[in-house]
Amino acid sequence: MKKIMIVDDDQHINEMLRERLTEEGYEVTAAYSGTEAQMFLSGHKPDLILLDLMLPGLSGEELMMQIKGVPVIVLSAKADIADKVGLLRGGAADYMTKPFAMEELLARIDVQLRKAEAAADGNVLRFQEISLDTDTHTVVCDGNEIRLTRTEYAILKLLMQKPGQVVAKLTILESISEDTPDCTEDSLKIHIHNLRRKLKAAVGKEYISAVWGIGFMLTEAS
Amino acid sequence: MKKIMIVDDDQHINEMLRERLTEEGYEVTAAYSGTEAQMFLSGHKPDLILLDLMLPGLSGEELMMQIKGVPVIVLSAKADIADKVGLLRGGAADYMTKPFAMEELLARIDVQLRKAEAAADGNVLRFQEISLDTDTHTVVCDGNEIRLTRTEYAILKLLMQKPGQVVAKLTILESISEDTPDCTEDSLKIHIHNLRRKLKAAVGKEYISAVWGIGFMLTEAS
DNA sequence: AAAACCGTTAAGAATTGGTTAAGATATTAT
DNA sequence: ATAATATCTTAACCAATTCTTAACGGTTTT
């Protein structure tokens, strides 16, 4: 569950935001002054901060300087462009002028959160209980990591990119020809066999089925 | 010099943008249709794309689906919120409605570019007890500074930029080829060896693990 | 029935990773 | 400029892993 912090001295706006964001499934913390926010942030790290600029105590600009590693969306009544420019250059992730449409704010929040997640997560292909992470180059099956060789990994990745579709033997050979130039249909046979063996050892299932004369594919078999 | 691509069929806007961005020191490429943009992108990779939605040929939305790894700022006459929401969720980095203020656009461009750079650059990279300062060019481990050679530093930096992710040997070689043009996989082997030795001398841990046939990565090993 | 294809097994060949040491190159100090 | 130092590359070796080849039996197509 993502944690969002609201920093705004306007009680009405603050509560409205909290209600709506809670509805959306976020864990919300509210602060009504810069110093209050500062205090909270010294001990916690939310995933995103909604920050009003006109704050009693520590100003929003000052607070922003101190925030590192958490995306900040600035909410402000100041509509003039000079401020926008300064803020965006100053490190704000995004900017919205009051009054704003709640739906747009939600969308922008979503963007910032997903961006942070994408940086941490990476690209993962999934097929039933198999997941293949192209960043860490690992394959996990039902929680257990499976050790695959370079070629086995390349083949499985190819199949998982087109789940349920036949991938021609020649396509596979071509695709892995950079790594293993002298791979023939004979050796491909072995790689497929080893792949099946390793997958079956992890979960007792057959995933890879052969299509006679054409190639191989992932299926939802038993 | 940062490369920006403009995709807009309105000749007036397109040229105005190009002029101003060129003034600002960007390298600008202009396209007047979706297909033209698509063609260019198949062979080039700009640092940022300004994309109009109403395009002849391939529509802006379709084009956006195909763009990966390059931030896109959408320029559109559509002002309604539903569109904004859809676009931001669909992968746009930012959104501006026409007519827009040039200064604000420049600021938002700046933000996106610096964001991409920050992801790659950063000042201090950390991984467990190792911290690498790109400003002072130093590596500190548990308080002790480690003396690394230029190449070792470059390799470690690369690995620390993607902690827990595999970095291909070829990627490493490419990345350090400026400093050491004739580095081969053989010599890379030695640099990794020396890096490991120095890190282990500082803290008794193994950080760098090999991924057979692919490359190396930082792991949370013992 | 013959030919082509798939699945399995085992063994030898080839590649890769880790290590060590020596020679080549670049950098710094004298 | 020369010497001293640091750094980088090459080579060789072993161990571990991975890849290919070959052979055999079963199945499907022609």
Give this prediction's pTM: 0.58
CA separation for the pair A47, A102 (Å, rounded): 19
pLDDT at A192: 95
Nearest CA in chain B to A108: B88
pLDDT at A86 over 70: no
Interface test with B, best of A111, A157, A179 (most B CBs within 10 A): A111
Reported as a pLDDT band with limits 50, 70 and 90, residue A81 is very low
| pLDDT per residue as tens digits for the range B85-107 | 666 666 677 888 878 888 888 88
How many angstroms separate the CA of residue B82 from the nearest CA in chain A? 8
Letter for the amino acid at B67? I
pLDDT value, residue B167 = 92
Q: Which domains does chain A have, with CATH numbers?
A: 3-121 (3.40.50.2300), 124-218 (1.10.10.10)
Of A85, A110, A135, which is closest to B104 when you measure between CB atoms?
A: A85
Which chain A residues have a beta carbon less than 8 Å from that of B82? Answer: 103
State the Cα–Cα distance between residues B103 and B8, nearest whole angstrom.
Answer: 19
> Cα dist. B167→A103, B177, B192 in Å?
40, 15, 13
Q: Which parts of B73-127 fold into alpha helices (H)?
A: 81-89, 102-120
Q: Which of A146, A145, A178, A173 is nearest to A158 (CA)?
A: A173
Check if the beta carbon of residue A94 is closer than 8 Å to that of residue A73: yes
User: Where is pLDDT greater, at B36 or A42?
Assistant: B36
* Helix residue spans in A28-137 (DSSP H): 34-43, 60-66, 81-90, 102-121
The mean pLDDT of chain A is 84
Contact A88 B110 (CB under 8 A): yes
What digits encode the pLDDT tens for the residues A182-208?
888 999 999 999 999 999 998 888 889
Quick check: A53 and A78 in contact, CB under 8 A?
A: yes
How does the average pLDDT of chain B come out, rounded? 85
**pLDDT value at residue B85:** 64
Residue to mutate among A72, A74, A88, with most B CBs inside 10 A, is: A88
Q: Measured between CA atoms, how close is A73 to chain B, in angstroms?
A: 13
Closest-CA distance, A221 to chain B, in angstroms, reads 31
Q: What is the mean pLDDT of residues A66-90?
A: 67
What is the percent of chain A where pLDDT is above 90?
Answer: 36
Question: Which residues of chain B are within 8 Å of residue A88 when distances are taken between CB atoms?
Answer: 107-108, 110-111
Reply yes or no on whether the pLDDT at A145 is more than 60. Answer: yes
The predicted pLDDT at position A80 comes to 45
Interface A:B, Cβ pairs < 8 A: 56
Q: What is the pLDDT of residue B62?
A: 80
Query: Could you state, in chain order, the average pLDDT of each consecutive group of 10 residues for chain B (222 residues)?
Result: 91 93 93 89 86 83 78 78 63 80 85 67 74 84 87 94 88 87 91 95 89 92 57
